[in-house]
Homo-oligomer: A and B are copies of this chain.
Amino acid sequence: MPQNYYNRENHGNYELIPVGNFKLAEGGIIPNLELAIRTFGTLNEDKSNAILMTTWFSGTTKILEDAYVGKDHALNPEKYFIILVNQIGNGLSTSPWNADESIKAGKFPKVRIEDDVKAQYKLLTEHFGIQKLVLVLGGSMGAQQTYEWAVRFPDFMERAAPIAGYAKNTEHDFIFTKTLIDTITMDPAYKEGAYESIDAMKGALDRHGDIWNVVGYNPEMYRIEAYKNLGFKDGLDFGKNFTMKYFEPMDPNTLLLCAWKWQRGDVSRNTNGDLKAALGRIKCKMFCMPILQDMFFVTSDCKLEQEMIPNSEWRPIDTVWGHLGLFGMDPNYMPQVDKILNELLATEV
C-alpha cells in the first residue's frame, strides 16, 4: 500500500499545510488541499530571505533536502529560509492515495503546473505572509514550476533557476512521457487506477523504470560505467537494483497524475499560446541551467527559450548522468550547481 512508502520515515518530517478547497484549471476541485513542505532556517523579520524549491516527477522534498540543502550548499539554512514544497499529487501533498474518497485513486482530477504554482502562492502569501522570494528554483518538473512562477507572478521573485526543464514542453518530451504512462495504463492489473495493490503493479513499474534506464541517463554514463562508483557491477544490475527499485514502491496513480501534468507544462497558456510574450513577462534575474547530456529536456530546445527571456543567462551543467544527474549521483554535479546558484544569489537585483 502507498502509505508504506509515502510517510515521514522515508521522506523526512514534513508538515502538511492546508490551503483550502482548491479549484483546478481543468475544472474540478480538490477538497482541503494540503501541501507537504519542509522548511530549513529561519524566516527573518521582514520576510525577505525566503527561497522556494519545487519537486520533480516521482521525487519528494527528501531528495532536495539530502542533495541541495545545507550549510555547505548555496541553499544555506544559516542564510536563507528555505521552503521545499511537494507538488500536488506526488504522494506527500494531497494525492490519489490519500485524497478525499470523492477523488480517490483513478477519480483524482487533472492537475496542471499552474495549479501547483497557484497553490504554492497561497502557501507563501497566506501561510507564511511572504510577498517576495529571493529565489525560486527546481529541477525537471520543478523547472516547469519555476518558469510558471516567473511568468505568472513576475514581481514575486528576485531570481529564478530552472534546472533541466522547459518553459513549454516539446512534442518529443510529450511522447517520451507517453511511453512512461503506457507502461502503467496498459497493464491488465491497472484497472483504471483501481489496482489491488502496488505489488500487483510491479511489472508495470519495472517497465516504467526500464524506460528511465534508457532515456533518464545516457549512453556515455553506461560507457564509462559510472554506476560502478555506486557499487553496481554492470548496467543491468544498476538498472534493476537502482532505477527499478526506486520506482517499485511508488503509487502508479501518483505517477500518472504527475506525468499528465508534466506533458502539458506550458507558460504560453498565460498569453494565449504566445511563448515569446509569456517569457517576455519575466522580470527576475534568471539563470537557465539545462544539463548538457539530457536526452529529453535537451539543451538545444532550452537554449531557444532562454534567448527569449530578458535578463536571463545560460548556465549549463555537465554530467554524464544526464537528466537523472539531478539526484546528485555525480560528485561533480552539486559543486557545479552550487557555484552557479551562489553566483545567482550574489547578483544585485
Residues of A within 8 A of B (CB): 170-176, 178-179, 182-183, 186-188, 203, 207, 210-211, 213-215, 217-223, 234-236, 239, 295-296, 298, 300-301, 304
Contact = CB atoms under 8 A, between A and B. Distances in A.
Contacts of A222: 170-172, 175
Nearest to A296: B219
Contacts of A223: 170, 172, 300-301, 304
* Chain A binding surface, main DSSP class: helix
Contact of A179 (B170, B174, B214): B214
Given A172-B222, A222-B171, A236-B171, A178 B296 contact: no
Contacts of A170: 219, 222-223
Given A207-B179, A214-B179, A298 B219 contact: yes
A186 to B, nearest CB: 6
Contact of A174 (B172, B174, B175, B235): B235
Contacts of A298: 219-220
- Identify which of A187, A211, A214 gathers the most chain B CB atoms within 10 Å of its CB: A214
A42 to B, nearest CB: 43
Tell me how many chains of this kind the complex includes. 2
The 5 A-B residue pairs with the shortest CB-CB distance in the complex, in nearest-first order: A171-B235, A172-B222, A172-B219, A171-B222, A176-B214
Contacts of A219: 170, 172-173, 296, 298, 300-301
A274 B236 CA distance: 21
A219 B304 CA distance: 13
A241 to B, nearest CB: 14
A217 to B, nearest CB: 8
Nearest to A213: B175
A148 B175 CA distance: 35
Contacts of A239: 175
6 contacts: A172-B218, A172-B222, A173-B219, A175-B210, A186-B207, A219-B301
Given A172-B218, A172-B223, 4 more contacts: A170-B223, A171-B234, A182-B210, A220-B300
A176 B173 CA distance: 17
A214 B178 CA distance: 9
Contacts of A175: 210, 213-214, 222, 235-236, 239
